Amino acid sequence: MLCGVFPQDHYLTQYLRSHALFALIFMLCHVSRSLGEDPVSGSRAKYLILVTLDGVRGDEMFGGMDLETLKASSEGKDVRDQEVYQRFWASTPEERRLNLMPFFWGTLMKQHGFILGHRQKGSIVQLRNRHRFSYPGYAEILTGRARDRIIKSNEKVRNPSPTLLEFLKSEWQLKFQEVAAFASWETMDFIVQQQKGAIYSNAGHQTYISRDPVMRWLSKAQFQTRSPWDSVRHDYYTFTFAMDYVQHRSPRVLYLALGETDDWAHDGRYDRVLQALHQSDQYLRVLWEYYQSRAETKGRTCFVMTTDHGRGGNPYNWMHHNDKLEESQYTWLSVACPGLTRRGELMEHPPVFAEQIAATTAMLMGLNYVEKHPNAGKSIPFLNSVP
């Protein structure tokens, strides 16, 4: 922790550097940091936005729309007549992903952050859990552990381990409303916190209470515009309520868990998967621009985005994901944080596991997660340098 209190001011640092005690502690900090578990020194990040996009494959994240998958799911119709083809198709993967996620690839990855998980470029992010479906995936991300024998279904049972969100609340001594989770899938309420009521949570078709009359109207509307799935509401409501909350409550930690991308995939609607991912990208833009527009959060917000599992990798099994389906273990991880200078796709690095995301996120916020949770995966040691 001592390492985090050193001043960032250049002249003061030079002055202090001339003192032997400083030099000794400085050296010790560097030694412990090289072991991979020390917090980022003097992290400027004060706010955290964690986003998950349920079951989004690397294929679409890195390559945009896949033509063979669209053809296979089009029931013989000419793909050229389809809106998604006209909007998202291009001849190169770089152009296609830019068409699909213009904010993510055109702004966020160019100017602010980077992404891991493009396997063709030697970058692997994978699940430690063997189940390869949602609850185990989210639990691994949020607690830093795969607990395969305990977490083995998507049923609404309370997370047996404390989460990163609860850790941040405790470390920063926040009130419950300062750590907020908004999710489209109702089971997320059970996953995001071990202690019910520890943090603010609004998940699935759930009433959202706001001072804003439009939000109160939308909160009612969510029950009258049901999605095709009993346990998942439309992402539009999840995002809109989250934005209202951010504007009125300024939480230090926001977790936004969008879900439609997975559900449309299970239904075999590749066109809707693409539309949902494109829509998610627009949500990210609004969220990011809001945080950058305020003096309090501009340049002090850390953004972390990932997914809970992959899916089958060919045009005939992309709808599914399970313990036996190869490629559904592969995910991706994107980070945009003050102080991290790498941009775009990371390539050729040691494999990363989803169990490392909790400790990595904590490290980016200047905290040591593994110290409190010794069984959790360690933070990724090479985010700011070539491994």
**Minimum distance from residue 48 beta carbon to Zn ion (Å):** 26
Closest approach of Zn ion to the CB of residue 187, in Å: 12
Residue number with CB closer to Zn ion (219 or 306):
306
Q: How far is the CB of 317 from Zn ion (least distance, A)?
A: 13
Residue number, 55 or 313, with CB nearest to Zn ion: 55
Residue with tokens 């995910």: 331
Min dist. Cβ of residue 130 to Zn ion (A): 16
- Centre a 10 Å sphere on the Cβ of residue 43 and count the other Cβ atoms it contains: 18
Residue type, 282: Q
Residues 6 or more apart whose CB falls under 8 angstroms from that of 112 comprise 288, 303, 336, 343
Instruction: State both tokens at 380.
Output: 């990724």
What angle do helix axes 235-249 and 213-224 make, rounded to 10 degrees? 160
- Return the residue nearest Zn ion (CB atom): 262
Paired strand residues for 255: 50, 181
> Residue 83 class from Cβ within 10 Å (0-12 exposed, 13-18 middle, 19+ buried)?
exposed
Q: How far apart (Å, rounded) are the C-alpha atoms in residues 50 and 286?
A: 15
* Residue type (1 letter), 364: L
Alpha-helical (H) ranges within 254-385 are 260-266, 270-293, 357-364, 369-372
Instruction: CB nearer to Zn ion: give 55 or 113.
Output: 55
Quote the CA–CA distance of 41 and 3 in Å, as a whole number.
Answer: 6
Can you give the binding site for Zn ion, defined by CB under 5 A?
55, 262
- Of 55 and 366, CB closest to Zn ion: 55
| Nearest to Zn ion of 207, 322 (CB atom) | 322
Work out how close the CB of 314 gets to Zn ion at its nearest, in angstroms, rounded to a whole number: 17
Minimum gap (Å) between residue 134 Cβ and Zn ion: 6
Nearer to Zn ion, 229 or 237 (CB): 229
